[in-house]
Amino acid sequence: MRCPVCDREVYFAERVSSLGLDWHRQCLKCDRCNKTLAPGSHCLRDGKIYCNEPCYKLLYGPRVIYFGVLRTSKDLQLLTSTEIQFGQFTYVR
């Protein structure tokens, strides 16, 4: 199996398995903050790896502008998988 980051062969002794893929331990780093990641603690989007928190949520989480203040998903209440509500505003993906 080849590493999705460097495209080199991944040998058993250096393998880290996550998201159904095999990675080199040194390649499994957040593309934004460069933090070394543990299996299951990251997301893969457009071929790039991000730590779940805070990087992925900061880059791709829903945002709502409310009275000039940018609020992130931490402030939002999840209604369904496609609707998020903050106060009287609803964001639909």
pTM: 0.60
30, 44, 60, 83 from 57: Cα distances, Å: 13, 12, 5, 16
Q: How confident is the prediction along the chain (93 residues), in pLDDT tens digits per residue?
A: 899 999 999 999 999 999 889 999 999 999 999 999 988 888 889 889 999 888 888 888 876 655 545 455 555 544 444 455 555 555 555
As a whole number of angstroms, the distance between CA 75 and CA 24 comes to 36
Domains and CATH numbers, the chain: 12-59 (2.10.110.10), 61-92 (no CATH)
Quick one: tokens of 8?
Answer: 């080199």
